[in-house]
Structure 1
Amino acid sequence: MTKELQTSAHDNREARVVRVTGLVQGVGFRPTVYRIALALGLTGFVFNDEAGVGIHLEGPREALERFPKVLLDEKPPLARIDTIEMHPAECQGLEDFSITASRAGGHVTTAITADAATCNACFADMFDPKGRRWRYAFTNCTHCGPRFTITHSLPYDRPQTSMARFPMCPDCLREYEDPLDRRFHAQPNACPVCGPKLVFTDAAGRAIAGDPVENALRSILAGEIVAMKGIGGFHLVCDARSAQAVARLRARKHRDEKPLAIMAANVASAQTVVQLNDEEKRLLLSPAHPIVLARKRSDLPEGALSGIANGLVEIGVMLPYAPLHALLFHEYLGRPAGTDWLEHQAIDLLLVMTSANPGGEPLVTANDEALARLGHIADRFLMHNRDILVRCDDSVVRVAKVHEPAPCLRPVWVRRARGLAPEAVMLGDNPNAREADEAGVDVLALGPYLKNTAAATRGHEAFLTQHIGDLENAATAEALEEAVEHLSAILELEPQAYAADCHPDFFSTRLAERLARDTGKPLLKVPHHAAHVGVVMAELGRTSTTFGLALDGVGLGPEGGIWGGELLAVSATGFERLGALREIALPGGDRAAREPWRMGAAVLVDIGRADLIEPFFGTMPHAGAIAALVRSPLTRRTSAAGRYFDAAAAILGITLVQHDEATAAMHFEAAAADYERRSGPVVLESESAAGGAALSQRAPLDLPRLDLRKLYIELVQARLAGVEPGLAAATFLHGFALSLADWTIARLAEVRSSSYVTTGTAPSRPIVALTGGCFLNRVLLSDVSERLAAAGYAPRVPQSVPPGDGGLALGEAWLAKCFFEAHRRTASAHAPLPTDPEYGFGPISKTDAFA
C-alpha cells in the first residue's frame, strides 16, 4: 500500500468510530488496522473488547472512506469479518495511531478463533539453525497456533490462557509489544528461554535423559507406541509402515475395526500412498489441517500399510499441524536447515496418529491422566507442561461430487472439531436477511446420543462444541456437560430456551430437561430426522417449509417409531412425513445394529428366501431361530436406510458382525468403489436402477413407501450366480440411489401439486436437503443430487457441519429458535416466552408456505 494519502495538514480532518465484528481477536487484527492506518495517513487508536474490535480514526475524508475496503482486502488470514460499521465522531486532534489495551465490562458478542496449524513463517523460524527458536516445539505467531484449547475466557489475552504461568523473556516481550512484529499480542508467544518444555518418559512417568524428540523418534522406529501430547489432547503414535507396531496398537487399544489415521510430512509424502485432487490438497493445507479421507493409490504394494485401513479404499491422512509433529520428521531427516524438505520432499516416514481415548472415553489431555489411563497402551510418553484447557479431537472430512445443481467437488465433514470448533456457523448466507424474527430467541441444543455435539445460537450465529462422541459412558456424558459449560462461559451465552432429541433415554435429552427445569426456561423436543433437515435450513436461514431426505442408521420418530429413511417437509413450526422406506424387521432390536447378518436375514425373509439363511449365515449364533424372530409380531420394524445397507453388506458376505455402527456400510461402499476403480463406473438407467421397485406402493390412506425388495432379489441372485461382490455392491448402490431419487421426485411432484399452499413467488429450484449419515456415501450423494438437480430441484448437503449426527444439534437449535420466535410473533414482538416446561415439535401447518 502506498502512503499517497498521508498528509501533515490538520485542515479538513474528520473523525469516524468503527466497529468490527466476527473472528477478529487473536488473529493479528489490531496490528493490521495499525499498518493500514499508517499507510492511509490516519491517526487514532484500536482496541479489543467483548463486542469485537473498536477503532477511532481521524484524517482526510477520502482516506476514511477507503479504510473499510482496504481492511476487507488486507484482513489477517485467520480473521473473519462479519460486519463493519462506521459512524461520524468528534475529532480529538490525535497526532499518531496507537493500539490500546483490551477493554472489559460489557456482554461478550465476539468469539474466539479455532486452533490453527503452524504457519510457514513459524516453521522457517523453527528450522533456522541460527534463530533463537531453532527446533522449539511451541513456536507460534498471531497467524497460527493454539487458541480455543488454551483459553478459559474472553477477551483473548494471555492471563485468560494456560500461557499465563509462563512470563515472557525480554526478547519475547519485545516482539509481543511491537505492532509491526508478526508476534504482536500473540498470546501463546514463547521461546526456549521462557516457554513450555518437553519431557520424554517411560510408562511409569520417569524422565528419560536426552533430547525428547530424538528419543521419541527412536522409540517409534523401534516399533514402540508413544503417547504424545498435542494441541487438544494426546495421540497414540507408532510407525505406520510397521505391521507389528500397528497390530500391537490395535490389540492394546481394543480397536479392531475402525481405520487409523496417518500423518505424512507434506503433500508430496502423502501422495506416495493416496491420490489427492486439488480440493483434498487445499483441505490438507488449510489452517484447520483436518484428517482428509483420500483414495489409496492403486499401485501400493500388497501388504503396504497393513492394519491401517484394511478392506477400505481410502486412508485418513493429515499433515503436521503442530511444531512437535514437524520436529519428528525433521529429526528423521537429520535436522536439515530450512524448510524445503517440509514443502517439497517426499519422506518415507509415516506415523499413525490416533486419538488417545481408551474404551470410547473422552480424549486424554493431562499428563498425570495420560500416565494413568494410557500406561497399558503406550510404551513411552512425549509430554509438555502447557496445560490443555479444552479437549478437542481432530476434524475429519471427505471430498465428494455434489450436484448443487452444477456438479462440483466439495468437502463433506465427518467430524467437526480441531481447527473448526468453536467458530460460528452463520445462520443464513446474509445474516441481515435471514427469515427468522429479528428480535431473536437464543437456544441451547444438547444434540443426539451418537457422535454428540451441542449447539447454541447467539443472534445470527450458531456455535457448536467440539466433537464429544457417543454418550455411552459417564465420562463422555461429563465431557458434554463440561463442553457446554465452557462454551457458555467463554461466549457469555444466555439461552432463552432449550432443545433436545425426542428420545427420552438419551443423556443429552435428560440434561436438556434438567437445564430447562433449573432455569425455568422452555424446552422443545425435536424429532431426530426433522432436526437433520433443520441443519440445512439453519445454514440457509430458512423458516419456510423445506423438503428433505433424512437417511441414517436410527432415530426415534413420533409415537416411538424407529425411523431412518424419511422424506420430510419441515417448517418453523412443525414437520410432516411425506414418505419413507418400506419398513423391515429389526430382529434383536439394538443388537441388529451390531450384527448386520440379522438385517440380512430379515431381508431374506421379506423377499421369500428364508431358505438362504442357513447357507448365508449358518455359522452365526441363533441363525436357526432368526426367521421366527423376523416374523414375530413382537419384533419391531424400522425404515432406517443404514440398516438396509447393513443387510446388503451381510447378504454379499462382506460384513456379518460389526463393533462400530458404520463398519458394514464403509466396507460395502469400499467394495463398490474398488470395483469401479478397476473396471469403470456402473451406469444404470432409471428403470433398471429401480429394479422394478414400487416407487409409491400404498393403500389410499397409507404413508407412501419406497419398496426395494426387487433390488434385494437381484442382489441375492448376483451372489448365487457368483457375481464379483464389488460389482454386485456397485450395482446395488447405484440402484438404491436412483430408485430413491426417482421416488422422491415423483412424491414431491404429487405434494407440490396438492398438499401445500404456495404464497409469494416460489423459487425456480426448490431446495431438497440431503441429510443423515448415509449421505457420507459418495455414490448415494452424487447420484441422488444429480438426479434431483436434473429434475429441477436444488439439492443441498450440509456444508459447515457433518450431515450425520455430528451436526444434528445445529438443526435442533435452529428449529427451536424458529419455533419460539414464531410463538412470540403470534403474541407481540417482545412478549415473554411461554412458561410451559416442555413442547413437542408437532405437525406442520397446512397454511405454511412451500418455498
Structure 2
Amino acid sequence: MKARKILTQGIVQGVGFRPYIYRLATDLNLNGYVRNLGNVVEIIIEGENADLFIERLPRELPPIAKIDSIIVEEISENNYTDFKILESGDSYSGVSVIPPDIAICDKCLEEIRNPKDRRFKYPFNACTDCGPRFTVIESVPYDRIRTSMDEFPLCDDCLIEYREPLNRRYHGEAICCGDCGPQMAIYEGQNKIDTNNPIGLGAEKLKEGKILAIKGIGGTHLVVDAYNDEAIKELRNRLNRPNQAFAVMAKDLKSVQNYAELSEKEIETITSNKRPIVILKKNDYYPFPDSLSPGLHNIGVMLPYSPMHYLLFDEGDIDTYVMTSANIPGEPMMIKNEEIIGGVNDYSLVHNRKILNRCDDSVIRFRNNELSFIRRSRGYTPEPYTINYEVNDSKVIALGPELDVTFSIAKDNIAYPSQHIGNTNKPKTLTFLKQALENMQRITKINEFDVIACDMHPHFFTTRMAYELAEKYDAKVLPVQHHHAHSVALANDHGLEEMIVIAADGVGYGSDGTSWGGEILYTNINSFDRLAHLQSQLMPGGDMATKYPARMLASILNDEKLIRKYSKYFKYGETEIKNIFKQLASGINVGKTTSTGRVLDSMAVALEVAHVRTYEGECSMKLESCAYYATNDLEIPFIIEDNALNTTEILKEVVKLYQNGEKKADVARAGQNAVAKGLAELAIRAADKKCIEEIGATGGVFYNEAITDTVKNHIIDNGYEFIQHTNTCAGDGSVSLGQAIIAKKI
C-alpha cells in the first residue's frame, strides 16, 4: 500500500479545498486526513490509488482554489481506517494566501430570490464558492474564530451545513442566515427607522432622489440614482468633488449594454466573480446627465457583487446607481457605523459585522483590448505575485510612493501587494497604511524584515515611515528611484531581465533631484540608466503649476504676448501673468520637470479643454476625451535634440493650429500623437544603441488608450517588440511591487 504526504500552497484556504480533498480521497478509497497548517494545507493519503489522487488533485479544483506548488513525499504507513478533515494546526511557516472577496455565486443568488428558501432576501448569504474572505479575516489559519464572523455563532441549521463535508457550506467561514448572522438597519440622520425591510426602504429613498450610504462587504458606498441630475450634483457638492467622474453599478449586463460599448474581454471581466469597475466607452444612446462623468468619453461601470446589491435592485425599479466610495477625497473609505451615520448622506444602510480589512473596488481599463489595472484591490487582494527571478533570502516591506499607494511584503519569490491605500499625505490614510500593513503581516505570518524599501523622495511620509520601520525591525532602508520601480514591475510581468522602458507620468523624484516623468530608461533588475527624456521645463510655483496648468503653459511657451490670450485662466489675469514671467526670470520658487503629464495638462489649457485640476489626472483625461472625437488627421512634427524631445515646439504648434481655427478635437489628437511618437522614437534610438529588442511602457500616461496605441504602432512598425502591463498597474499602484523585487535582487 502506498502512503504519501502532500503539502499544497496557493489559494487553498477558505475555498472549499478541504472538502474537495475529502471527496476526492473517498472517491478513490484512500484513508488519511487533510488539515490547514497556517499557510499550507497538509494531506496524508494511504491506499493503492495514491498516485491517481496526485494526478487528479490539480485538475478538479473548486471554482476559486488555485495551487501554486505541490510537494509530495513518500512516508511510512500509519494504517488509517478512514479519511478525515482535522482541525487546523499552526506549525508551518511557508508562503500562501487567503483568497480575495468575490461575488455571490449563482446558487446563493438563487436562494435569496427563492421565497421558499430559508435565506430568502438575506443580504449576507455566502458559501465556500463565494463571499467575503480578505475583509473578514484577522489571522491564519483561516477559521471562523479568526474572522469577524466569530461574533455570530451558527444556529443549529447552519451548524449542520458547516459540519457536513459534502455540503458546499462545509467550513465556509462566512456562512450564516437570518437567525444567526449579521443584520441590516437603516437610519435617517442619526435616527434609526423601525422597518422589517431596510433595503427596500433604501431603494424607495433613492427613487426620491436621496443620498444613501450603504455599508457593504469591504467598505461603504454613497449611492444615488444615476439618472437624477439634481441628486448627482448635490452629492458632488457635499463631497466637494466638482468634476471627478462617479462610478456606477448596473443591475445586469443588458443594462450596461444600453449605454456603453463592451468588447468580449470587457464582458468577461465585468461579469467575472471578481467584479471590478471597468472603464467603458459611452455609446450613442448614453442616457445619463453630464454631471455623472463630465468632460469624459468613458464611464466606470461594475455589476452587483454582494447579496445586498442584488436585493437593492430587486426592491427598486432603477437599473443603474451611482456607487462611489464614501470618503473625503484622499482619505480612506468609512467602515464604522458611527462615522457612516454621521456622514454627508441623508440615509444610512448599515450592518453589525465588522470590516477588518478595508478594501476599495478594483478599477480596470482595457487599452487596445489589453487589460490594465488602474486600481488592484477588491477581488484581487491579497492574491500574490510570483517574482520571476532568482532572489535573495531577505524579507522585505516596500512602501510605495505617496499617491495611489499600495505596499508590498515579499518573502522567498512571492510578493504580496496590498489593497489600494491612497494618498498617504493625509493623516487618516497614513494610519490606514499602518493598520493594513499589520493586518497583512498577520495573514502572511511574516513578522521579521531585513529591508524596508521606499521611494527616493526624501519628504514623502512613506519614506519617513521606512526609517521608523527600519529601526523597529533592525532592517536597512533601500530608497528606489520611482521610475525604476515602475519599470521592474513591468519587466516582472513578462519575466524580462532587461529592456528599454518609456516611463511617462505626472511626477517621480529623479536621481538628480528634479521632477521626472518623461523618461527613456535602460532597465535591468539591479540598476537603470537614463538615456533620454522630454525637454526639461520650469515649473513656476512648483505644485501650483500642477493644480493650475496655465502656469505650466506659460513656462513652456515662454511667450508673454501669446499667453495673454489665455488670461481668463489666471486668477489675477495679466497681473499674474507678468509676475509668473518675473518669477521664471529670477528662478525663485521654480522647479524643473520632464513630466509628460505636465505637457498634456498644458495642452488641455492651450485647447481650452480644462484649466484647473480638481482631481488627479483631470486635465490630461479631458484632453484624451476631446481627442477621441477627432475626425481629421492633422500632423504635428516633433524635434529631438541632445536625446530630449522638444515639447515647447509641440505646444507652439498646438496653439498655432487652434488659433488658426482648426477643430479642437483634431488638434488634441495631433498634439497627443506628437508627444507619443516623440517618446517612441527616443526609445527606439535607445534600443538600437543598446541592441535590445523589447521596449516597454509604464506610468499613468499609459492609461491613455490613444497614446498607448500610437507608441505601440510606432515601435512595432520599426521592428521592436512592445511590452505593456498585463497583470499590474501602469500607474503608481505597482511601484511597491517594483521596489520589493529590486530589494530581493540587490
TM-score interval, normalised by the smaller of the two chains? over 0.9
Deviation at 1:277, TM superposition (A): 0.9
Partner of 2:387: 427
Q: Deviations over 1:721-748 (max 9, x none)?
A: 2212111111112222122212210232
In angstroms, what is the RMSD of aligned CA positions?
1.7
Alignment-derived partner of residue 535 in structure 1: 489
Opposite residue 47 of structure 1, the aligned amino acid is: R
- 2:707 corresponds, among 775, 780, 798, to 780
Contact residue 200 and residue 382 of structure 1 kept, 8 A: yes
CA contact (8 A) 1:425 1:539 kept: no
1:119 maps to what in 2? 105
Residue 794 of structure 1 pairs with residue 692 of structure 2: no
Of the three residues 407, 411, 418, the one matched with 1:465 is 418
Map of 1:105 onto structure 2: 91
Residue in structure 2 matched with residue 316 of structure 1 by the alignment: 300
- Shift in Å, 1:359: 4.2
Residue in structure 2 matched with residue 614 of structure 1 by the alignment: 564
Deviation of the 1:619 alpha carbon: 4.6
Moved more, 39-48 or 280-289: 39-48
Partner of 2:627: 672
Supply the AA of the counterpart residue of 1:736.
V
Equivalent position of 1:653 in the other structure:
608
**Alignment partner, residue 382 of structure 1:** 349
Distance 2:144 2:371 in 1: 34
Q: Residues 696-721 of structure 1, C-alpha deviation per residue, up to 9 Å, x if partnerless?
A: x12xxxxx212233322321122112
Give the AA of the match of 2:673.
H
Say whether the 8 Å CA contact 1:594–1:661 is kept in structure 2. no
Alignment of 1:340-359 (within 5 A): 348-359=318-329
Match of 2:376 in 1: 416
Match of 1:254 in 2: 240
Contact 1:569 1:577 in 2 (8 A): yes
For residues 302-341 of structure 1, the aligned pairs below 5 Å read 304-332=288-316
Distance 2:321 2:425 in 1: 29
Letter in 2 for 1:300: Y
Aligned length: 740
Q: Secondary structure at the match of 2:111?
A: helix
**Equivalent of 2:57 in 71, 80, 88:** 71
User: Paired residue for 1:46, among 34, 38, 57?
Assistant: 34
1:36 is the counterpart of 2:20: no
Alignment of 1:662-701 (within 5 A): 662-675=617-630, 679=631, 688=635, 691-695=636-640, 697-698=641-642
Q: CA deviation at 1:427?
A: 1.2
Q: Give the drift of 1:541.
A: 4.8
**Alignment identity in percent?**
35
State whether structure 2 residue 697 is matched by structure 1 residue 770: yes
Aligned equivalent of 2:267 = 281
CA distance in 1, matches of 2:167, 2:97: 24
**Alpha-carbon offset, residue 274 of structure 1:** 1.0
CA contact (8 A) 2:532 2:682 kept: no
Cross-structure match for 1:839: none
Does the CA contact (< 8 Å) of 1:537 and 1:811 recur in 2? no
The one-letter code matched in structure 2 to 1:644 is V
2:367 to 400, 404, 414: 400
Q: CA separation of 1:640/1:619 partners in 2, compared to 1, >3 Å: closer, same or farther?
A: closer
Cα-to-partner distance string for 1:735-785 (whole Å, 9 max, x where unaligned): 221222122102321233xxxxxxxxxxxx733331111111111212212
| 1:426–1:539 Cα contact (<8 Å) kept | no
Q: Whole-Å Cα distance in 2 between the matches of residues 226 and 316 of structure 1? A: 20
SS where residue 94 of structure 1 aligns? Answer: coil
- 1:540 is displaced (CA, Å) by 4.1
Any idea what SS the aligned residue of 1:352 has? strand
Deviations 1:1-59 (A, max 9, x none): xxxxxxxxxxxx21111111111100111111122223333222211112311111122
Residue 555 of structure 2: SS of its match in structure 1?
helix
**3-state secondary structure, aligned to 1:227:** strand
- State the distance in 1 between where 2:89 and 2:721 align: 46
More divergent stretch after superposition (102-111 vs 596-605): 102-111
TM-score (norm 2): 0.96
Which of 440, 445, 452 in structure 2 is aligned with 1:492? 445
CA distance in 2, matches of 1:166, 1:256: 42
Give structure 2 stretches of 5+ with no counterpart.
none
Q: Give unmatched runs, 5+ long, in structure 1.
A: 1-12, 334-347, 402-408, 429-433, 699-703, 753-764, 820-851
How far the C-alpha of 1:492 sits from its partner, in A, is: 1.5
What do the CA deviations read for 1:331-381 (whole angstroms, capped 9, x no partner)? Answer: 125xxxxxxxxxxxxxx5211111011243211001112223x1xx11111
After superposition, residues 493-512 of structure 1 pair within 5 angstroms as: 493=446, 494-512=448-466
SS at match of 1:295: strand
How far 1:424 moved relative to its partner?
0.3
CA–CA distance in structure 2, aligned partners of residues 746 and 643 of structure 1:
24
Letter aligned with residue 131 of structure 1:
D
1:21 aligns with 2:9: yes
Q: 468-477 or 146-155: which moved more?
A: 468-477
CA distance in 2 between partners of 1:533 and 1:351 (Å): 38
Match of 1:337 in 2: none
Structure 1 Cα separation of the partners of residues 28 and 711 of structure 2? 52
SS at match of 2:530: strand
Which letter does structure 1 place at the counterpart of 2:465?
L
Shift of 1:546: 3.2
Corresponding residue number in structure 2 for 1:747: 686
1:614 is aligned with what amino acid? R
Provide the residue aligned with 1:195 in structure 2. 181
In the aligned structure 2, how far is the partner of 1:299 from the partner of 1:99?
55
Shift of 1:793: 3.0
Separation in 1, partners of 2:10, 2:608: 52
* Alpha-carbon offset, residue 600 of structure 1: 1.6
AA at the equivalent of 2:114? D
